Chain A
């Protein structure tokens, strides 16, 4: 047998051995159904509006606190209040510093939001309420800057953009930790929960009736018969 013939035999043998492995790999490979069509760059750009903490996705543009004041007074103040204090039950966007561990925590951009992107991403997609995705990029940066200013996070000369993004330090950035219930609340896993004489005498210490905030059911009816 020539060297070449011997080599061919080895290759053939190897291929024969490998065949079941390759077949298995083909079986595990996701099936392509040929359904769905390619999204074009233009189509993606129209909907790709999300922004991450590292600035990925942040749109081009810039806006100053001063410009933001005008946008805010035109489009936000009716619900969020002149100083971000909220009008009625709409979300409060400013103040609340130092309240998170109190009996009455006030969660605002300044007191609670961990990242600038969480604010930008939300305003960009959902605000103004009832006129979503209507702000231009400059307006978006400006009004965000104004809300940051209302929270004493930046001064009144600040101009917010992709370039100045990193200068914004959110006060509650370190206020969050990942779900740890499986360790922190391990005591809730129990193979033999108590069935008899599990506690001392039971007293009623609060009543929903006394608070009396349950809606009257007679006032609510099915709309369409």
Chain B
């Protein structure tokens, strides 16, 4: 503490938590700032020199942004090495997720791989089994593409009703990044596919040696063997030095720390595609190979971690994505899904990438039930949670793309609620 802005923030939060009206919030806020830095005074940072170049050789966010971090839900898992941390969606804008905030899902901790020791093996039903070094992968013609990556278990805790209070926890297992790498098709061509090739198995070099089967048609279509994200080399948490990019498909098949691609004539039915990442329905039977992530959206602000601070003009902001193609439209409801209006999509609309949407409204302190509904270019419409439960039951864990409801209360706070 001792930092005036820090105190201001704490005061504001305390104020919002109270029930006093919001009308005077603006005034209170101003009083809590450090008056010495405000007009007509000349601010500290104007009088004094700042740090020179090179002090921040790899730049970090401002110290005032230190609560913009990935967060965990410790009770979810037995150990942090096989667990998840969530992207703070409520604190981000645009469609690109900063590398350090991309959610993590590891099954055996973060492998720390020396790029000199990195090898990728391609073998199985091929003419010429090959090994590539990282430098060799980088010598091959690169592509750069922006894609979302969503864990199949995103919103998985919400099947039985509203559980976690914040879009970071309910929806924070998604991120959207520009990847650079080599088309998987090109690597398979170098090895030469043999007749009968129908599936590949991708395997990680981490302590889980994560392995998943992927149909050859997808491997030859748009998969990338990627080594860069948002321009720089992959972060260790995201599979440094090489991961598989499987556009629009569940995150688990995007094998990190990729060490091996094996070509075969049938799927492997690994533990991760049988015992895990299968969707158990009400009758006790389970869907397998549910790769595609259906269209989904969420209002990121306002949301439980990002309350409404002022009456009057307000903007709803959110993200939408679809594993089947481009987001076509996003609708917003203020009354829990009775009436809908179409939101404004801002920025690029790319295949299998996140889009940013906005919806402007006047708020006078009335209680609202905020929802968003995505539609993609196949005309798939994001279903309500009830509609989804009707066809899937509540035991699926994975692929919960139901419409999220935030209840906006008179004091500007929001809560994750279930509506009926």
Contact = CB atoms under 8 A, between A and B. Distances in A.
Interface of A: 30-33, 35-39, 43-44, 47-54, 79, 88-90, 100-101, 103, 105, 107, 109, 112-115, 117-119, 121-122, 125-126, 129-130, 132-133, 175-181, 184-185, 187-191, 193-199, 202-209, 211, 213-215, 217, 220-222, 225
B128 interface: yes
Contacts of A220: 69, 71-72
8 contacts: A103-B394, A107-B275, A113-B271, A114-B269, A132-B207, A175-B285, A189-B379, A199-B337
A115 B379 contact: no
Interface string B339-362: 111000000000000000000000
Contacts of A37: 130-131
A179 B290 contact: yes
Interface stretch (B36-44, B143-151, B260-268): B260-268
B66 A195 contact: no
Q: Tell me if A's interface is mostly helix, strand, loop or mixed.
A: loop
Contacts of A222: 66, 69
Given A112-B286, A113-B274, A179-B287, 15 more contacts: A35-B190, A39-B123, A101-B283, A117-B269, A121-B268, A122-B270, A129-B79, A181-B292, A191-B379, A194-B340, A195-B341, A207-B162, A208-B304, A213-B163, A221-B66
B380 A188 contact: yes
A122 B58 CA distance: 39
A50 B292 CA distance: 24
B164 interface: yes
Nearest to A214: B165
B288 A179 contact: yes
Nearest to A194: B340
B262 A179 contact: no
B294 interface: yes
A209 B165 contact: yes
A89 B77 contact: yes
A217 B391 CA distance: 35
Given A38-B129, A209-B165, A213-B163, A125 B211 contact: yes
A101 B282 contact: yes
B275 A44 contact: no
Interface stretch (B21-29, B173-181, B308-316, B412-420): B412-420
Interface of B: 60, 63, 66-67, 69, 71-75, 77-79, 81-82, 107-108, 121-123, 128-132, 136, 139-140, 161-166, 169, 186-187, 189-192, 201, 203, 207-209, 211, 259-260, 262, 264, 266, 268-271, 274-275, 278, 280, 282-292, 294, 304-305, 331, 335-341, 369, 373, 375, 378-381, 383, 387, 391, 394-395, 407, 415-420
Given A213-B164, A222-B66, A112 B275 contact: yes
A52 B190 contact: no
Contact of B123 (A44, A184, A203): A44
Contacts of B271: 113, 118-119, 121-122
B349 to A, nearest CB: 19
B253 to A, nearest CB: 13
B1 to A, nearest CB: 13
A209 B272 CA distance: 33
Nearest to A217: B71
A117 B264 CA distance: 16
A30 B190 contact: yes
A202 B405 CA distance: 11
Nearest to A125: B209
Contact of A202 (B139, B161, B369): B369
A179 B289 CA distance: 6
Contact of B339 (A49, A89, A195, A211): A195
B103 to A, nearest CB: 14
B248 to A, nearest CB: 13
A202 B209 contact: no
B266 A52 contact: yes
Contacts of A177: 285-288
Nearest to B169: A214
B129 to A, nearest CB: 4
A88 B338 CA distance: 43
Q: Which 3 A-B pairs have the closest CB atoms?
A: A101-B284, A30-B189, A202-B336
Contacts of B69: 220-222
